[in-house]
């Protein structure tokens, strides 16, 4: 069941809270929402308290009237306020793509709130090819008129990176990522996310390695889709060189991003949670 949380600047954000035990705060990717973690929740079977927050401007959460607030710093502030709202002093973060960037920022700013971090197909360097692909669809509604048509298009365009994913799984994704309307398919997030992303792309890319280094002392793991165009093997090797204790798992037949219910993903999460908390 979706619940609500109000930020300090008055936006109502949606979240889900299922299971019991050690709390895992799940932060989704750029245009995604809490539904992306339903597969992980099902695989875990309630063994942990899985809390998934939908960022401002995404499906179920209020859109921000100021699109420049769609940035990692503001979304990180929302996450900290959310933890305060829940009364949680410390959590393990499962950060997918953009969510992983937020996790690294939090390690640099409120390190004491993090028990452990799993980065899902994200690191301190973002490959240009993946970024270009993402900018090719952000803020643009799909051409299909039904979920079935969008699912077929997703399978066709993703076949090389996700070769074993059946059509039914793509239709489930389409229902999570888009809205079917009488006029055709629509985005289920604020199109102004594109403006925010484009405004960031005109600035020189910041050096994010210090943010990754801020994870020192915090148990950490990274997943990489074997076919990812966003997180390169070279970047993962650099991460491991700086953090020899980093748990690393490559997920076969996945691009950007793994679904988190794969055996490799679950194995990395189990290994991370078996380590003493920071």
pLDDT at 202: 53
Return residue ranges of the chain for CATH 3.40.50.1820: 3-138+206-274
Tell the residue number behind the tokens 């895992």, with chain if given: 24
Which fold would CATH assign to domain 3-138+206-274?
Rossmann fold (3.40.50)
Question: CB pairs under 8 A, 24+ apart, for 65-72?
Answer: 67/190, 67/192, 67/193, 67/195, 67/196, 68/196, 68/199, 69/9, 70/190, 70/192, 70/193, 70/196, 70/197, 71/196, 71/200, 72/98, 72/101, 72/102, 72/105
Identify the DSSP state of 227.
T
Tell the residue number behind the tokens 């070769």, with chain if given: 163
Nearest to 192 by CA among 5, 30, 10: 30
Q: How do 12-18 and 49-53 pair as beta strands? A: antiparallel
Please list the pLDDT of the chain residue by residue as tens digits (278 residues): 899 999 999 999 999 999 999 999 999 999 999 999 999 999 999 999 999 999 999 999 999 999 999 999 999 999 999 999 999 999 999 999 999 999 999 999 999 999 999 999 999 999 999 999 999 999 999 998 999 999 999 999 999 999 999 999 999 999 999 999 998 999 999 999 999 999 876 566 789 999 999 999 999 999 999 999 999 999 999 999 999 999 999 999 999 999 999 999 999 999 999 999 88
Whole-model pTM: value is: 0.97
pLDDT at 133: 95
pLDDT at 267: 98
Whether omega for the bond prior to residue 31 falls within 30 degrees of 0, making it cis, is no
Helix (H, G, I), strand (E, B) or coil at 175: helix
pLDDT at 86: 98
Return the structure tokens found at 96.
Answer: 């997918």
State in Å, rounded, how far the first CA of the chain is from the last one: 30
């Amino acid at each position: 069941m979706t619940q609500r949380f109000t930020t300090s600047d008055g936006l109502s954000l949606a979240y889900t809270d299922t299971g019991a035990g050690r709390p895992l705060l799940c932060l989704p990717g750029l245009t995604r929402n809490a539904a992306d973690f339903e597969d992980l929740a099902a695989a875990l079977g309630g063994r942990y308290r899985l809390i998934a927050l939908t960022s401002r401007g995404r499906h179920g959460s209020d859109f921000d009237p100021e699109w420049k607030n769609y940035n990692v710093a503001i979304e990180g502030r929302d996450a900290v306020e959310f933890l305060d709202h829940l009364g949680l002093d410390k959590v393990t973060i499962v950060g997918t793509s953009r969510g992983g960037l937020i996790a690294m920022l939090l390690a640099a700013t409120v390190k004491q709130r993090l028990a452990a971090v799993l980065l899902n197909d994200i690191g301190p360097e973002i490959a240009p090819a993946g970024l270009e692909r993402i900018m090719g669809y952000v803020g643009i509604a799909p051409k299909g008129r039904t979920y079935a048509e969008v699912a077929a298009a997703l399978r066709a365009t993703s076949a090389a990176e996700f070769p074993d994913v059946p059509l039914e799984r793509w239709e489930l994704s389409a229902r999570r990522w888009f809205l079917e309307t009488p006029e055709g398919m629509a985005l289920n997030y604020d199109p102004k996310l594109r403006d925010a992303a484009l405004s960031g792309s005109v600035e020189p890319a910041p050096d994010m390695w210090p943010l990754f280094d801020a994870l020192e002392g915090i148990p950490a793991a990274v997943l990489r889709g074997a076919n990812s165009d966003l997180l390169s093997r070279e970047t993962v090797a650099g991460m491991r060189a700086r953090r020899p204790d980093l748990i690393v798992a490559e997920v076969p037949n996945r691009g950007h991003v793994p679904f988190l219910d794969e055996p490799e993903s679950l194995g990395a999460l189990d290994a991370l949670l078996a380590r003493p908390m920071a």
